[in-house]
Amino acid sequence: MGIGEIILLFFTILMCIPTLASLTRFDQWWIRGFDFPRIQISFLIICVIVVSLLYYSFEDIWQIVALATLILSLLYQFKKIYPYTYISRKQVLKYKGNDPNGSISILVSNVLTPNKRSDKLIALVNERQPDILLTLETDKRWEEELSVLEKDYKHNIKIPKDNLYGMHLFSKLELKDVKVRYLVQEDIPSIHGYVVLRNGRKVRLHCLHPMPPSPTESDTSTNRDAELLMVGRDIDVEKDSVLVIGDLNDVAWSRTTRLFQKLSGLMDPRIGRGFFNTFHSQYFLLRWPLDHVFHTKDFTLIEIARERNIGSDHFPMYINLNYEPSAQAINEDTDQAEKEEKEWAEEKIKNADPIRQKLDFNFPQNRLTT
């Protein structure tokens, strides 16, 4: 075996590590981190496959095995990201009417606390005029600078924090029964309540920003997974129209987010339309979708867009939906969680030792901030 073959075999093994790690259920940050760059990993695997085809003579069986392993690894990665490509079937149908009286437009923006360019976000809000604006990582300074929006956004929930988990909700539409909850950690809030559409329909709204698995924040994904799965488990799509929005610090194709969808029955309007990578805004080659809007089957899509850079490490995410009860019969169904998956979700939630065991909206709340 020559030096070239040794180097190529090394990169073959290296390219298989992300796939092997993704097949496990270990929640250490460095393992779950492989869930994020699947697009980039797929590109690198293709590069190694091309070099292998050009370099190997395929006279030795190990060369055939190495190439086959790379192809299997690529197929696994592509299977994960395929639903978010243009060639996949759309999960949410496009609105085709002319009078969307049940419409609701949403702008989700992780502003990055040290970012001083609040003027860029304010300009975007004034241009887009969303019905709901959810800002994340907003502290007291951001709260003061965004106060100019309150003349148009009469309904708002303010949770300024200096720990990168502040959250502010601005709404032109009426908010009802809103509660601020700390589901898993004492210093990470989430917002839960109802938003009333212009046609009078009440839609349950969940705003989330769980902690990501990373060497600087959390050694494992346990708490993040638990928060997402707890919300997914307790959503009742038979009873309510539902919106879940926020920076979930997880990609759309991860095991946790896919299980969240199965448990909740919520739809992802990006399926069949593109990745809409919102992080990292500064690195073109290192981007993946962290900011999300999920909804029940009774909505159709008017518009979805990743917005321009506002000085943050996240691009804002914009979506405009229309409430259509008849859409439940035509929108594609989500997969249902199997028994083993439900048991795994409950185990995740239990291991996180959450502050709240269930999302009970009637539970007394003493941490409400308005």
Find the CATH number of the domain harbouring 122. Answer: 3.60.10.10
Contacts of 310 (CB under 8 A, 6+ apart): 109, 111, 115, 117, 120, 121, 124, 316
What confidence category does residue 334 fall into, taking pLDDT thresholds of 50, 70 and 90? Answer: confident
Residues 39 and 175 in one domain: no
Are 2 and 59 in contact, with CB atoms under 8 Å apart? no
Instruction: Find where tokens 């739809």 sit.
Output: 267
Same domain, 20 and 143: no
Residue 18's domain comprises 3-84
Residue 152 CA: distances (Å) to CA of 98, 141, 191? 25, 20, 21
Tens of pLDDT, residues 15-48: 999 999 989 989 999 999 999 999 999 999 999 9
Residues 123 and 60 in one domain: no
Per the structure, the count of domains in the chain is: 2
Q: Answer yes or no: is 181 within a domain.
A: yes
Tell me which of 84, 114, 136 is where a domain ends: 84
Q: Are residues 53 and 192 in the same domain?
A: no
Same structural domain for residues 66 and 188?
A: no
The 10s digit of each residue's pLDDT in 99-118 is 888 999 999 999 999 999 99
What mean pLDDT is reported for the chain?
Answer: 93
Cα separation, 268 vs 322, whole angstroms: 14
**Domain assignment present for 95:** no
Query: CB–CB of 169/136 below 8 Å?
Result: no
Q: Map tokens 């299977």 to a residue.
A: 79
E strand segments, the chain: 103-110, 132-136, 155-159, 167-171, 174-181, 190-196, 202-208, 241-247, 291-295, 299-306, 317-323
Q: Is residue 358 part of a domain?
A: no
Q: How far apart are CA 314 and CA 280, in angstroms?
A: 6
Q: Is the residue at 36 inside a domain?
A: yes
Same domain, 80 and 107: no
Q: Let me know whether 56 and 201 are in one domain.
A: no
Q: Look up the pTM and report it.
A: 0.93
Residues 73, 110, single domain; the answer is no
Residue 175 domain flag: yes
84, 119, 138 - which closes a domain = 84
| Same domain flag for 244 and 110 | yes
**171/72 same-domain check:** no
Across 230-251, average pLDDT: 95
Q: Does any domain span residue 96?
A: no
> Are residues 265 and 332 located together in one domain of the fold?
yes
| Whether 298 and 346 share a structural domain | yes
User: From its phi and psi, is residue 272 left (phi > 0), alpha (psi between -120 and 50) or beta?
Assistant: left
Q: Any residues with CB less than 8 A from the CB of 120 and at least 6 apart, and which?
A: 309, 310, 311
- Provide the pLDDT confidence category of residue 329 given band limits of 50, 70 and 90: confident
89 inside domain: no
Q: Is the pLDDT of residue 88 over 70?
A: yes
Residue 364 lies in a domain: no
